Amino acid sequence: MKSNFWHLPWRRPAPRQPAISTPKNIREWLAKNTFHHAQFADLKRLVEAKRKSGVKISLCLPTLNEETTIGKEIVIFKSELMTRYPLLDEIAVIDSGSTDATCEIAKSFGASVYAAADILPDQGAQKGKGENLWKAIYQLRGDIIVYVDADIKNIHARFVYGLIGPLLFNPEIQYVKAFYDRPLTTSKNVRTAGGGRVTEILIRPLFSLFFPELTAVIQPLSGEYAARRAVLERIPFPIGYGVETSHLIDIYRQWGMPALAQTDLDQRVHRNQSIQALGKMAFGILQTFLRRCENLRIIEGLPEISHVMRQFQWRENGYEPVDAAIPEYERPPMINHPAYQKRFGRHP
C-alpha cells in the first residue's frame, strides 16, 4: 500500500529559495585585493621594493600590561625585519600606562618606548588603544605605519611583512587589514575554529545592513594593519574599541574599496576575552558606528546616546548590576594639529 506520508501538508518540502550569488563587485575586490602572506615571503624582494619607493616604515606596538609577550615580538621583528632584512626603520612601543614590566622588557630588547600620555601633552591623555594609535602618527617617522597587537602568542615576521607587501607593490592600496584563524583557547584544549565573535555577532550584520561592500573584509576588527601616513593623518581616531570599525568606514567613504586590502596571516593565537569584556567592546563599537551613520545621514533622529553599559554579575544573594562608563571619544585627524604640521611639514 502506498504511503500518504509525503503528501501530508505539513510534510511538504519548503519552497526552494532563490539562490543568492555574491555581487560581482565583491567577488572582484576579493580576487584583486586579498593576499596571502606567502606572496611576500621573499624579504629581499620587499627590501628592494622599499628602496625603490623611498619610503620609511615604522612598526607600532600599542601596549598595556603585555610583559608575557612583548619581548618575543620585539626580538623576532628586530632580528628578522631590521637586522637581517632592513625592512623596518623603527620599532616603537606606545604604552597606555602598564603597571607590569612591559616597558622595561621592551627597552631591554631595543624598542623605542613612549608613554602615550607624554606624546602631545597639550592634548591631554585618554585611555584606550585608539589613543595610542593616534599618537603614534605624531611620534613615529614612517611613511607607512604598521600596527600589531602585543598579545600574540604565535608571533612571526609574517604579521608585519604580510601587511607591508601589498602597500609596496600596489600604489593604489592605502590600508591593509589582517585576517586569520583565531582559535578559541579553553582550559582543556584548543579549538581550530572560532574567535572573532564580536565581528560575527555585531559588525558583520551592521555592515550587511548599511555598508554591504565592507562585508568583503573578512576580519574587520583584526588588530593588525598597515597604512600609509597620507591616509592615517586624515581620519579621526576613536580612542577605544571603535577605532578599527571607524577606519574601515572612513577610508571606504573617502577613498573607496580599491584603497582597502587584506592579507591572510594563517593563524593568530592570543589571549581570549570573557563574554563580559566582549560585551563592553561591542558597546564601544556600536557608539562609533551609530555616530558615523548619523554623520553620514544614514540614520537620522538618534536620541542622545548613553555611555554607560550595565551588565550583571552573580553574587551570593543573586545577580547584581555592574555599571561601566565606556565613552568613545574621538581624536580629530592628526593633519589638523599645528604641532604635527610643523613636525612633518604637512598640511590639510
Task: Cell numbers for 73, please give them.
Answer: 615580538
Per-residue pLDDT, 244: 96
Number of CB atoms found within 10 A of residue 278's CB: 16
CA distance 277 to 30: 31
CA distance 143 to 157: 20
* pLDDT tens readout for residues 197-242: 899 999 999 999 999 999 999 999 999 999 999 999 999 999 999 9
Mean pLDDT of 129-146: 97
Task: Cell numbers for 306, please give them.
Answer: 548613553
Mean pLDDT check: name the lowest of 14-28, 217-231, 259-273.
14-28
Kindly indicate the confidence band of residue 14, based on its pLDDT and cuts at 50, 70 and 90: low
Task: Judge whether residue 2 has pLDDT over 50.
Answer: no
| CA angle, residues 96, 100, 101, in degrees to nearest 5 | 100
Per the model's pLDDT, the better-predicted residue between 267 and 216 turns out to be 216
Task: Cell numbers for 231, please give them.
Answer: 591616509
Give the number of C-alpha atoms closer than 13 A to the C-alpha of residue 29, restricted to the C-beta side.
Answer: 21
Kindly indicate the confidence band of residue 191, based on its pLDDT and cuts at 50, 70 and 90: very low
Task: Cell numbers for 90, please give them.
Answer: 623603527
E runs forming strands in 40-105: 57-63, 90-95
Identity of residue 38: A
The owner of cell 582543556 is: 188
* Paired residues of 324 in beta bridges: 309
Expressed in angstroms, the distance from the first to the final Cα of the chain is 83
Mean pLDDT of 101-112: 97
Gyration radius of the chain's alpha carbons = 22
Mean pLDDT check: name the lowest of 49-53, 147-151, 191-195.
191-195
Mean pLDDT of 121-141: 95
Task: Judge whether residue 193 has pLDDT over 50.
Answer: no
How much of the chain exceeds pLDDT 90, in percent? Answer: 78
Per-residue pLDDT, 11: 53
Mean pLDDT of 89-97: 97
Task: Judge whether residue 274 has pLDDT over 50.
Answer: yes
Phi and psi (nearest 5°) for 137?
-60, -35
Mean pLDDT of 186-191: 49
Kindly indicate the confidence band of residue 246, based on its pLDDT and cuts at 50, 70 and 90: very high
Per-residue pLDDT, 197: 87
Provide the mean pLDDT of the chain: 91
Per-residue pLDDT, 19: 74
CA distance 40 to 36: 8
Kindly indicate the confidence band of residue 6, based on its pLDDT and cuts at 50, 70 and 90: very low
Per-residue pLDDT, 182: 74
SS3 assignment, position 319: strand
SS3 assignment, position 49: helix
* pLDDT tens readout for residues 305-341: 899 999 999 888 899 999 999 988 999 999 999 999 9
Per-residue pLDDT, 5: 44
Phi and psi (nearest 5°) for 95?
-105, 140
Per-residue pLDDT, 132: 96
Task: Judge whether residue 9 has pLDDT over 90.
Answer: no
Task: Judge whether residue 273 has pLDDT over 90.
Answer: no
Q: Distance of CA 130 to CAs 12, 136, 242, Å?
A: 54, 10, 8
User: Which residue in 157, 165, 160, 162 sits closest to 75, CA to CA?
Assistant: 157
Task: Judge whether residue 194 has pLDDT over 60.
Answer: no
Mean pLDDT of 267-290: 88
Kindly indicate the confidence band of residue 275, based on its pLDDT and cuts at 50, 70 and 90: confident
Per-residue pLDDT, 81: 98
